[in-house]
Structure 1
Amino acid sequence: MSSSLDAARPETAPAVTPRFRPAIHFTARDTWLNDPNGLVFHDGLYHLFFQNNPFGSVWGNMSWGHATSTDLLQWTEHPVAIAGDETEDIFSGSVVVDHGNTSEFGSIESPALVAVYTSAFKAGTIHSGTQAQSLAYSTDGGMTWRKYDQNPVLTRNSEHFRDPKVFRYEGPQGSFWVMVAVEAQQQKVVFYRSDDLKTWDFLSHFGPANADAGEWECPDLFPLAVDGDPGNTAWVLIVNVNPGAVAGGSGGQYFVGQFDGVRFLPDAGSLAAPTGLSSIADAEAAAAAMQQCLWLDWGRDCYASVSFSDAPDNRRIIIGWMNNWDYANQLPTAPWRSSMTLARELRLSSVSGATRLVQHPVLGEAKEELSETGSFELGSEALRLPDAFPGRAQVIQAEIKPGTAERVEVKLLASPDGSQGTVLSYTTSNSRLTLDRTRSGDTTFHEKFASAESAPVALEDGVLKLLIIVDQSSVEVFAQDGTVVLTDLVFPGANSQENWLAAEGGTATVLKLAVSSLA
């Protein structure tokens, strides 16, 4: 990360804000967090490591924090796993289970967990000012870690070579470890291979492409079956970008293609602008090309998404950082600052003749049903839904035929007088879904926070499908079975708990409406 601790530090810390603490999204107990790191499933536990400042609630002193979960909803925080020191900050990376003991850090019977992380070397050290890749390992299931005594294991003598994601490749080229990392300011993903996690050989690079105006960070690469067909597999390359995302600031894009063990080749349908968005001089043309990029999330607050290693049943599950570098250090929460998105299971599906990612939030079964209705007509008279509960998250599922309505909207976390609320609306004239937080509550802590994000959404047989998760300080929207996702932070007033559904300019038909809560 390239944030400046001194420049970003608030003049005064905000008052303690327990009502903004999420019910089902991970936050550190009383410190700062950003990128998820080292996501791995091992011995019945999901491990979430993360960028952490152990000494404060703004970016700095980068170390790896640690939390575990059995269900991806409720997390237990543990002591710092890999600590920065006088020589290095511990930047982002990944964790693998070394089943074959290729590193000789463990054994076949008791494999080590190996973290591959970026050492951001401090001024005056032997690698002063550079970023390189290093190892740490754990032989007790990820609870304690030891740095490898011959770090770094891979350097390019670069100031911006970081964020290694490592996985085991099995294919025509053989069986070996692959590292996917970035030269952040060159907008390049670089690929390396290794037999033992210690010695690495260069394979190839990819980029710049599509959204390339900002730094590229936190890549991931993995195969998925298309439409569940194991005989038709494509590879997905996730590349996060800051700034230059579709909603402004930081965000995540992806490419679909093939990886042959040496290089990644994107499908033609993954490329919005072959010469890159930053090279398009005309603003209108650049904006149009931006809409054609493949975005993981069209909201303001989903960044650095990466996937779990060794997830059960070969599921591909990602978690992102629910924040934006535009205002990350100024969020009005205390004593913690920042949270993670919900875990999301990824699949590849054929959508309008193209191969696209779909995302499904991992919610489990422990939901309390609050209301469920059959089909009914909806007009300009708003329907009040069950209120959001303090300390609990709310799940709203709806299938709506807009019919003659010009606009259908769900108003979330609204105040009794209607002056505050986060508005999710679908406009039929332009087929766009918009999440508007300009009047959501506290928006004044940063000039860029008040915003409205929108995404193109095509109806399916005239039907809009919505799955909305509302937590204490966030809204996540999964539209059309997860083909379009919008994630935004919100900081509502203490009494803003009402939820409403309405249609404007005509009538709509609600085919399904179910509301439940969970904590």
Structure 2
Amino acid sequence: MTEKFRPNLHFSPRAGWMNDPNGMIRVDGVWHLFFQHDPDSTVHGPMHWGHATSTDLVHWQEQPIALYPNDLGTCFSGSAVETEEGAVKLFYTAHSRTSTGEDYQVQCLIHADRALSKYENHAANPVVPNPGLTAFRDPKVIWHEASGKWIMLVTEGQSIGFYGSDDLERWTHLSSFGETHGRHSPGPWECPDMVPLTAPNGEAVWVLIVGLNPGGYAPGSGTQYFVGQFDGTTFTNANPPETELWLDYGRDYYAAQTFFEHGGTATPVAIAWASNWLYAKQTKTAAFRGVMSLPRELRLQDTPDGLRLAARLPLSAEAGFANDALPGTSRTDLMADLAVGEEMAIVLFGEEQPHFIVGRSSKERGSIRTIRQPIAGMDHFGHDYAVDLPWPTNDVLDLTLFIDRGLVELSAAQGLVWITNLFYPASPDSPVSVTTRSADQFEELLNG
């Protein structure tokens, strides 16, 4: 371990820059994670597709670079699918610039072997030309069983476009969603995904996932989602347009994507980039920049606020945290048994100031305040904000902290709320301790 902040159980590249997860697919029992990558720099540059594989979603083996820039441009984000015949296809955005310096983006197809070790450009690329949009990228391809066709989701600036195809080569625009729904900002909606899930009452529901940068729940990058229906042509939001739902309430969970698996899966697994564009190019690592989140299994859950997305780690990922021999890596389970008006502070890394404060504001509601101290050289890194949540009917809020050399993923309320935050403690490889105290003991520290 030569990198002070290289995690044990979260994937990071050997060297160079990494951002969005791409082309996530499981083939013949192997999980394939592709990612936005510049192997020659630790800041964002000409995008390639890096590649890593795993058989348990815990231990990752980095593979040779999969996609390189070509005459159509650099390789922005995309996805992967397996056909009924067993063929594996990758889709990505080729990014270039016009003579006036504006972004120009088109969608391209790659033919891969089943081992995903050989890649051939489709002769007729691009398969989806640019319709005149500056932001037109991040193709996510899924199979829609009910209509018997492939669906591609594409960023269209402030909306997500839906395209349909019978052969993965010829695509027709079907509809667009989003201009009056959810949260918007000066940046485009990007990195879309859509998965079918079963509600607790047995109803089939679709969940649309969209990256937003800037404009997240907390400053900078964020990942929102919508619950609704998709009929093969149009996505219909089940909530009022102004409803805002968030896959993660932390600062460092962006561009989440799920793995494609032939035949579908009842439990989609998602991974996100654990960083934030406000300071991603300034993070405190040397040979590499960029870390992926832990994998999360997605499910729907009824709440007092309506149907909401919840998540938990796959059993294999949870097992990885049972190994006490990994320095700086731990799992801690807590129970916040609070009366109305009480608070509990959580302090990590042997430090003095709290990192989280859990409070109960009423019989039905509570909050988790997340606090991060500023770091010199990292713009906009410090924060202090709260996440509202429904308080469990049994009066006790469950909390689980997965900590990996400074990267903290906090789960609460049976996975209804996640908060993913990077920290850069003085000794990330030392044993991690969690101290819980009443919050009023820390007021002098917080206000001093």
Partner of 1:385: none
Q: Deviations over 1:201-226 (max 9, x none)?
A: 11000011221113100011121000
Aligned CA distance change for structure 1 residues 505 and 130 (closer, same or farther; 3 Å): closer
Of 362, 370, 386, 1:454 maps to: 386
Query: Are 2:182 and 1:210 equivalent residues in the alignment?
Result: yes
Distance in structure 2 (CA, Å) of the matches to 1:505 and 1:333: 32
The secondary structure found in structure 2 opposite 1:366 is: helix
Give the Å deviation of 1:17: 6.1
Give the Å deviation of 1:91: 0.5
Partner of 1:121: 96
AA of the residue aligned to 2:221: S
Give the Å deviation of 1:447: 2.7
My pick for the range that moved more, 131-140 or 452-461, is: 452-461
Give the Å deviation of 1:362: 2.6
Q: Quick check: 1:408–1:425 contact (8 Å CA) kept in 2?
A: yes
Aligned residues: 431
TM (normalized to structure 2)?
A: 0.90
Aligned CA distance change for structure 1 residues 90 and 480 (closer, same or farther; 3 Å): same
Query: Are 2:424 and 1:486 equivalent residues in the alignment?
Result: no
The secondary structure found in structure 2 opposite 1:142 is: coil
Give the Å deviation of 1:413: 1.1
Partner of 1:427: 359
Query: Are 2:121 and 1:147 equivalent residues in the alignment?
Result: yes
Q: Quick check: 1:346–1:359 contact (8 Å CA) kept in 2?
A: yes
Give the Å deviation of 1:422: 5.5
Q: Deviations over 1:322-367 (max 9, x none)?
A: 0000011111101010100000000011111511000112352635
Give the Å deviation of 1:98: 1.6
AA of the residue aligned to 2:260: S
The secondary structure found in structure 2 opposite 1:482 is: coil
Structure 2 unaligned regions, length at least 5: 442-448
Q: Quick check: 1:117–1:163 contact (8 Å CA) kept in 2?
A: yes
Partner of 2:234: 263
Counterparts of residues 31-430 of structure 1 (less than 5 Å)? 31-99=16-84, 108=85, 111-123=86-98, 129-155=103-129, 156-171=131-146, 174-184=147-157, 187-208=158-179, 209-213=181-185, 214-227=187-200, 229=201, 231-269=202-240, 271=241, 273=242, 293-310=244-261, 313-352=265-304, 354-364=306-316, 366=319, 391-403=327-339, 406-415=342-351, 418=352, 423-429=355-361
Give the Å deviation of 1:389: 7.0
AA of the residue aligned to 1:445: G
The secondary structure found in structure 2 opposite 1:314 is: coil
Give the Å deviation of 1:446: 1.5
Aligned CA distance change for structure 1 residues 428 and 129 (closer, same or farther; 3 Å): closer
Q: Quick check: 1:403–1:506 contact (8 Å CA) kept in 2?
A: no
Distance in structure 1 (CA, Å) of the matches to 2:333 and 2:126: 49
AA of the residue aligned to 2:284: P
Give the Å deviation of 1:501: 2.8
Aligned CA distance change for structure 1 residues 389 and 244 (closer, same or farther; 3 Å): farther
The secondary structure found in structure 1 opposite 2:206 is: strand
Partner of 1:510: none
AA of the residue aligned to 1:432: S
Distance in structure 1 (CA, Å) of the matches to 2:385 and 2:252: 10
Q: Quick check: 2:35–2:50 contact (8 Å CA) kept in 1?
A: yes
The secondary structure found in structure 1 opposite 2:335 is: strand
Partner of 1:467: 400
Partner of 1:102: none
Of 423, 432, 435, 1:501 maps to: 435
Give the Å deviation of 1:406: 2.4
Distance in structure 2 (CA, Å) of the matches to 1:463 and 1:506: 20
My pick for the range that moved more, 342-351 or 135-144, is: 135-144
Distance in structure 2 (CA, Å) of the matches to 1:355 and 1:249: 26
Distance in structure 2 (CA, Å) of the matches to 1:404 and 1:181: 46
Distance in structure 2 (CA, Å) of the matches to 1:22 and 1:503: 28
Give the Å deviation of 1:134: 0.5
Distance in structure 2 (CA, Å) of the matches to 1:17 and 1:123: 42
Distance in structure 2 (CA, Å) of the matches to 1:301 and 1:263: 31
TM (normalized to structure 1)?
A: 0.78
Give the Å deviation of 1:498: 4.7
Q: Quick check: 1:87–1:122 contact (8 Å CA) kept in 2?
A: no
Distance in structure 1 (CA, Å) of the matches to 2:305 and 2:218: 26
Give the Å deviation of 1:139: 1.7
Partner of 1:436: 371
Distance in structure 2 (CA, Å) of the matches to 1:162 and 1:395: 37
Give the Å deviation of 1:444: 1.5
Give the Å deviation of 1:488: 0.4
Give the Å deviation of 1:432: 1.2
Give the Å deviation of 1:142: 0.9
Q: Deviations over 1:404-463 (max 9, x none)?
A: 772112211124xx3xx6612112237210221217xxx222130011242112221211
AA of the residue aligned to 1:266: N
Q: Quick check: 1:17–1:334 contact (8 Å CA) kept in 2?
A: no
Q: Quick check: 2:135–2:188 contact (8 Å CA) kept in 1?
A: no
Report sequence identity in percent: 36
AA of the residue aligned to 2:152: M
Query: Aligned-residue CA RMSD in angstroms?
Result: 2.4
Q: Deviations over 1:63-82 (max 9, x none)?
A: 11000011111100011101
Q: Deviations over 1:245-270 (max 9, x none)?
A: 1101111000001001110000125x
Q: Which has the larger radius of gyration?
A: 1
Q: Quick check: 1:298–1:453 contact (8 Å CA) kept in 2?
A: no
Structure 1 unaligned regions, length at least 5: 1-15, 100-107, 274-291, 371-387, 508-519
Aligned CA distance change for structure 1 residues 405 and 262 (closer, same or farther; 3 Å): closer
Q: Which runs of 4+ in 1 moved over 3 A?
A: 122-125, 311-314, 365-370, 388-392, 495-498
Partner of 1:7: none
Q: Quick check: 2:230–2:236 contact (8 Å CA) kept in 1?
A: yes
The secondary structure found in structure 2 opposite 1:84 is: coil
Give the Å deviation of 1:390: 6.0
AA of the residue aligned to 1:499: S
Give the Å deviation of 1:504: 1.8
Give the Å deviation of 1:506: 9.1
Q: Quick check: 2:33–2:53 contact (8 Å CA) kept in 1?
A: yes
Distance in structure 1 (CA, Å) of the matches to 2:313 and 2:249: 16
Distance in structure 1 (CA, Å) of the matches to 2:416 and 2:102: 44
AA of the residue aligned to 2:319: A
Distance in structure 1 (CA, Å) of the matches to 2:406 and 2:395: 32
